[in-house]
Amino acid sequence: MTPNPLLTPQEAQRLGAARVGIAGAGGLGSNIAMHLTRAGVGHLTVVDFDVVSESNLNRQFYFRDQLGLPKVAALCTNLLRIAPALDLRTHAQRLTEANFRPTFADCEVVVEAFDNPESKSAFLRALLPTGKPLVCASGMAGWGHSGAIALRRLGPTLYLAGDAATAASATCPPASPRVGIVAALQANTVIALLLGVQP
């Protein structure tokens, strides 16, 4: 069953059968999961150790009555409201270089959706050698400069979304529009990879 009636039967079958991994369920990951669920992806594996906090509500797919809940639990509730048949596997744990591979072993595509550069780099060190398609992000803080955000393909299996420059900081915080653009770009890339069209 898909929440997306605009798909052809073949597209619905393809997306419905796919499992996509999402590392992180913050500004990027929660919105990527929402996009993929609305698009009709049938199986998601989402990993995040954090809980929903007040500072998340400006850009993440959570609500005020979910403050304090584990992000993966709140996300599960929200995604199942969109697609009750979604097969959502969640892990409330911290990902390390030692557990990236087993956690996402059965995922066709894995999305990097962390906010700190150390975790982003660890993700790449652990999963790039597997040859699995990866969709990562770097550079999305602040406002404006939408045209600087791009999708780049690096080698045969790696995609990088963002401007690769604008770091989040106290004076340049991550905000919903730019983070949302990158999250949508990552989700769009995943769908393209699954459907075999040009990302």
Partner 1 sequence: MPHFTFQGTPAETKAERLADFLRERGLDPARTLCELNGQALAPGADAPLAEGDTLNAFSIVAGG
- In the bound state with partner 1, the residue whose beta carbon lies nearer, of 88 and 124, is 124
Q: In whole angstroms, how close is the CB of 85 to partner 1 at the nearest point?
A: 28
Comparing CB distances to partner 1, the nearer of 3 and 173 is 173
Residues of this chain that interact with partner 1 (CB under 8 A) are 24, 26-29, 113-117, 120-121, 124-125, 128-129, 136-141, 152, 154-155, 157-158, 160, 164-169, 174, 179
> What is the closest distance, in whole angstroms, from the C-beta atom of residue 101 to partner 1 in the complex?
14
Main-chain dihedrals φ then ψ at residue 124, nearest 5 degrees: -65, -40
Cα-based angle 141, 26, 62 (whole degrees, multiple of 5): 115
- 1/167 with CB nearer partner 1: 167
Going by C-beta distance under 8 Å and a sequence separation of 6 or more, which residues neighbour residue 5? none
Alpha carbon distance 100, 133 (integer Å): 14
Closer Cβ to partner 1, 39 or 141, answer by number: 141
Query: Smallest distance, Å, CB 103 to partner 1?
Result: 18
3-state secondary structure of 190: helix
Residues with Cβ < 8 Å from 15, sequence gap 6 or more?
2, 4, 7, 39, 40, 41, 42, 191, 194, 195
In angstroms, rounded to a whole number, what is the distance separating the alpha carbons of residues 20 and 1? 17
Question: Which one, 74 or 140, has the nearer CB to partner 1?
Answer: 140
Give the nearer residue to partner 1 in terms of CB position, either 6 or 170: 170
Q: What are the residues facing 91 on neighbouring strands?
A: 47
CB 198 within 8 A of CB 192: yes
CB of 180 to partner 1, least distance (A): 12
- Closest approach of partner 1 to the CB of residue 153, in Å: 9
- In the complex, least distance from residue 129 CB atom to partner 1, rounded to whole angstroms: 8
Q: What DSSP character marks residue 88?
A: E
